Structure 1
Amino acid sequence: MFITLGLVLMAFCGLTVGIYEVTVRSKVMLDSDSYSPSILSSKGKKHLTRGPTSSPLGCTIDVMIIRHCERGNLRRDCTAYGEERNEYIATLFGEEVEARYPIPSMLYARAEEGKKLVKRSKETITPLSQKSNIPINNEYGVSTKKHMVTSLFSQFRSGDLCDSGPIVISWKHENIPKLAAWLGCTPVLGCPEDYGVGYDDIWSIRYRYDQPTYSTKKSGKISGPTWDIQGSVVPEGFDIVAWEKKKRVEGGL
């Protein structure tokens, strides 16, 4: 009888602990900023493929998402270090041989939201805007990013942005994975669930509208042209000591 009672108590305790562990694990997942249905689904890609497209076969479009500059004590504007980074970012784009990327076709910055009206996203790409003569669209924020994506995808399907310069978006870092997901780039396609730390990452997403070579259907049937999406994360490569030396040499100081 004592053995039986002991087994019952052990089973009950085990069940209680199991329920507790599941509850805690579920709460952690739900409380985590990286856990989001939009990140773990293909909602973004379905959004892109919804509706007819006029883009020609082979149409290629690039979107690059960067984190805003380093923040100061007031958290509204960039630090002096961040301003140096902003100038450096502008040199990554251009017609110069040493520039890594072409001149952007469009520039987006997170809207000045909240009580502090944070300006860092716009400040980050202001030197790039001045260099390229491309205006910054800062109409959209974290709560309205879906509308920005809807506008972009409409232009993707129209063919107006095919084979043009990259679309550069300066954004709030903890929301970059969710923005990438809305843009159709999930972890399996190269866009992580979490931004991580630091300011030096560029999230690059490439879209290509073309006839697929292989079928993704069990039947083996190839249904027709579609949008292929692939993401990657690459470093900006900002080194403030090397950057200041470069400016001194070029300035003849």
Structure 2
Amino acid sequence: MMCATTKSYQHDHVSMDDDEDEGQGKSVDHPPSRKRHHCRRYSGAVVVFFLFVVLALAFFVHYIQRQDVPDGAVTKQNKELDDDHFQNTDDDSVFYDYEPEVEDEKALTLDNDGALNLEKLSQATHKAGNVTTGCETTILLMRHCEKNGDGTIDEDGNEHCDYVGHERANWLPSLFGSNARWPTPSYLYALSPIRESHSTYREVETLQPLSVTLGLPIRADYGTNNGIIHDLFHVMSSGQACSKLIVVNWRHHMIPNLARKLGCKTCPMEYPEDTFDQVWELKFVWDVAHTDVYRYSISHGESPPPATRLRRKLKKKKAGTKKPMKKVKSKKAYDGIQWSVYAYVTFQYFDPLHVSGSVGDYLTVPRPNGNHSSAAPNWLHNNF
């Protein structure tokens, strides 16, 4: 309205000036034109400010709505946290010099950090000098026993395996050994049973029969992923884990994060919530390029590996040009021999009925009076 009035006034005023100065040929400065220009700038600023205020209010209302959750409402995420979540979080200062960010164990945003972890492991291994080409170490990541049946909470509020979970735990030793499915493990790790308000023994209970059978202690001192990684990397870099199998029993939603931090880029992004049977195998191999398996496959192939072709191409280019080649600085802090990680997802194939039948749960024994009864199960013979 103001700008419109000014424009009208300017039109009349300029017309008069033009009539008066028509014959003089003078250029006349028009103050009303400057007033109209300032008016437009002021109006634009007011509109921008108003839009900014509206957007700020919209974001504020959205934030309040997300935070304002009814007392009786339990979201899926909250249910998972209450049901199967260890409250402590990782402290990334174990491997990094910068200030760590506290993160949820379920957040899978550590792909790059996992590569950095593997690089630091390789550097430590090379410095120690105890690991030779072709050293293999396999880590089995397994979930704890079942927890869906009765008898999982004791009088003190501590959590345990259910009946089928204990059957699985007693069956696990049959999977390991010289003539079994997997080699005999050399290290057993379980998530620490210590919680903020109670204890959860499922991870330890899952490995307990295997520990007794092998006479191998369970290392259950770690409640975070970084804690166990620090120990695993120490064992691997020192050469103690060459040709060794390591079994880790962990919580399912922490397993993907643990695998990523161990440097496994091809591992799944989540462990299925509805299964206790899945097993992740992480095979670590030192200095793959010079192993017998790799060199044999290359020597019998039709062409050299890409890295060899690249080196030959660079050499020819260097010999045929007068200009010296510029050295490209590597972004990596360590360019020496590396650990390589290979992932494979498999299953235990646990069958409760088969296991119960194998140990005698369904074996009937005749009695003198003609009746029959079930014999007590024999878990010691491991005849599965």
Q: CA deviation at 1:44?
A: 3.2
Q: Distance in 2 between matches of 1:217 and 1:34?
A: 40
Structure 1 portions without partners, runs of 5+: 1-11
Higher mean C-alpha displacement, 58-67 vs 107-116:
107-116
Q: CA deviation at 1:217?
A: 11
* Residue equivalent to 1:69: 145
* Residue equivalent to 1:5: none
- Does structure 2 retain, via aligned residues, the 8 Å contact 1:70–1:79? yes
Q: Is 1:138 aligned to 2:217, yes or no?
A: no
Q: How many residues align?
A: 221
Q: CA deviation at 1:206?
A: 0.3
The structure 2 residue matched to 1:89, chosen from 150, 156, 172, is: 172
SS in 1 for 2:216: coil
SS in 2 for 1:170: strand
Q: Is 1:244 aligned to 2:324, yes or no?
A: no
Q: CA deviation at 1:140?
A: 0.5
* TM-score (structure 2 length as normaliser): 0.51
One-letter amino acid matched to 1:103: T
- Does structure 2 retain, via aligned residues, the 8 Å contact 1:211–1:224? no
One-letter amino acid matched to 1:147: G
Q: Is 1:199 aligned to 2:272, yes or no?
A: no
Deviations along 1:180-224, whole A, 9 cap, x unmatched?
1121112xx2x1110012100111100010242656799659x65
Q: Judging changes above 3 Å, is the alpha-carbon distance between structure 1 residues 146 and 32 closer, same or farther for their aligned structure 2 residues? A: closer
* Residue equivalent to 1:112: 193
SS in 1 for 2:360: helix
Q: CA deviation at 1:113?
A: 2.6
Q: Distance in 1 between matches of 2:228 and 2:107?
A: 22
Q: CA deviation at 1:139?
A: 0.5
The structure 2 residue matched to 1:38, chosen from 93, 110, 120, is: 110
Deviations along 1:22-44, whole A, 9 cap, x unmatched?
x99xx9xxx99754222465233
Q: Distance in 1 between matches of 2:270 and 2:242?
A: 29
The alignment yields a C-alpha RMSD, in angstroms, of 3.2
Q: CA deviation at 1:159?
A: 1.3
Q: Distance in 2 between matches of 1:62 and 1:105?
A: 11
* TM-score (structure 1 length as normaliser): 0.76
Q: Is 1:152 aligned to 2:152, yes or no?
A: no
The structure 2 residue matched to 1:182, chosen from 258, 261, 267, is: 261
Q: Which has the higher contact order (CA 8 A, sep 6+)?
A: 1
Higher mean C-alpha displacement, 153-162 vs 208-217:
208-217
One-letter amino acid matched to 1:202: V
Q: Structure 1 vs Structure 2: percent identity of aligned residues?
A: 27
Q: Judging changes above 3 Å, is the alpha-carbon distance between structure 1 residues 240 and 83 closer, same or farther for their aligned structure 2 residues? A: same
SS in 2 for 1:151: helix
Q: Judging changes above 3 Å, is the alpha-carbon distance between structure 1 residues 149 and 241 closer, same or farther for their aligned structure 2 residues? A: same
Structure 2 portions without partners, runs of 5+: 1-50, 67-102, 295-304, 315-334, 365-374, 376-384
Q: Judging changes above 3 Å, is the alpha-carbon distance between structure 1 residues 224 and 90 closer, same or farther for their aligned structure 2 residues? A: same
SS in 1 for 2:264: coil
The structure 2 residue matched to 1:125, chosen from 204, 207, 224, is: 207
Q: Distance in 1 between matches of 2:104 and 2:138?
A: 29
